[in-house]
């Protein structure tokens, strides 16, 4: 069974427990939730859309049955990658039953798919507030919080080189500080150099020392050659990065 169907079934089980729902057929066939539940159990998206959609569209549908139908249809929308429509159904679910931690977590996952990370984090937090033991919401909250923390760290250094521009004295360094492209390139070179040196140091201290001297020579030659006729700073820096990345792949 696909993950989406499993998630929907778990939501329906939780909903049934919360409301002590009976699945006995309703007197009016149009209000009978059994076809909707049967469609969910067999993961038949077309039948879910028809049977559960009929319950949603009927004003006389009991609230618990409407909730089940909305959750089921949201699952179909998600599998069809109609994320906005899936979120819309879960919005309605949470308006009708704001105590459903599973639905907050499910909507948070949809927000995350859409790239709306702050909204996703808010929904995961809401799920945990309702159910502190909710394992999926806790895992989602932790992973997304870490992702946002890393993103914030990246934003703090973007368009900045590996050195302090306020202390830059050499002409090459000042040129790098003045160009976001060169600043990012310098930072990538520094990061790649650190990785290859650290990896070498694990097994061969001499090799690590050679790599450090190689980087020092590159910086010295870059600084000395900058401003001379025919010297291309961008080309020199790209060649250095390509060399380091090649070493890293070895």
User: Using one digit for the tens of pLDDT, what is the confidence trace for 75-105?
Assistant: 999 999 999 999 999 999 999 999 999 999 9
Provide the pLDDT for residue 146. Answer: 85
CB 141 within 8 A of CB 174: no
Q: If pLDDT is split at 50, 70 and 90, which confidence band does 5 have?
A: very low
Alpha-carbon span 80 to 76, nearest angstrom: 6
Residue 84, SS3?
Answer: helix
Alpha-carbon span 127 to 112, nearest angstrom: 15
Alpha-carbon span 72 to 92, nearest angstrom: 13
Residue that is written with structure tokens 């149009």 in the block: 30
pTM score of the predicted model: 0.58
The overall average pLDDT reported for the chain is: 88
The full DSSP string for 155-183 is: HHHTT--SS-GGG--SHHHHHHHT-HHHH
Residues 6+ apart with CB under 8 A from 97: 15, 18, 63, 67, 103
Mean pLDDT for the stretch of residues 141-159: 84
User: Is pLDDT above 80 for 124?
Assistant: yes
Q: If pLDDT is split at 50, 70 and 90, which confidence band does 216 have?
A: very high
Query: Yes or no: is domain 3-154 CATH 1.10.10.10?
Result: no
The full DSSP string for 5-47 is: HHHHHHHHHHHHHHHT---PPPSSGGG--HHHHHHHHTT-HHH
Provide the pLDDT for residue 30. Answer: 59
Mean pLDDT for the stretch of residues 214-230: 97
CATH 1.25.40.10 domain locations along the chain = 3-154
Weakest-pLDDT range from 48-57, 151-160, 163-172: 151-160
* pLDDT above 90 as % of the chain: 74
């Amino acid at each position: 069974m696909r993950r989406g169907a499993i998630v929907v079934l778990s939501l329906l089980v939780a909903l049934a427990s919360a409301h002590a729902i009976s699945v006995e057929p309703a007197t009016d066939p149009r209000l009978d939730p059994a076809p909707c539940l049967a469609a969910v159990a067999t993961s038949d998206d077309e039948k879910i859309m028809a049977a559960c959609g009929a319950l949603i569209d009927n004003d006389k549908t009991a609230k618990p049955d409407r909730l089940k139908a909305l959750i089921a249809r949201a699952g179909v929308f998600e599998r069809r990658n109609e994320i906005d429509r899936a979120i819309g159904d879960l919005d309605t679910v949470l308006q009708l039953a704001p105590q459903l931690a599973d639905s907050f977590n499910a909507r948070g996952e949809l927000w995350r798919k859409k790239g709306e990370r702050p909204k996703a984090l808010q929904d995961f937090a809401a799920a945990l507030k309702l159910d502190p033991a909710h394992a999926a919401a806790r895992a989602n909250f932790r992973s997304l919080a870490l992702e946002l923390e890393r993103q914030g760290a990246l934003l703090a250094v973007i368009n900045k080189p590996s050195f302090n521009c306020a202390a830059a004295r050499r002409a090459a360094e000042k040129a790098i500080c003045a160009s976001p492209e060169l600043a990012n390139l310098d930072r990538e070179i520094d990061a790649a150099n650190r990785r290859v040196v650290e990896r070498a140091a694990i097994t061969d201290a001499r090799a690590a020392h050679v790599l450090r001297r190689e980087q020092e020579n590159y910086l010295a030659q870059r600084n000395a050659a900058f401003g001379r006729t025919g010297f291309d700073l961008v080309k020199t820096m790209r060649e250095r990065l390509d060399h380091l990345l090649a070493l890293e792949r070895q």
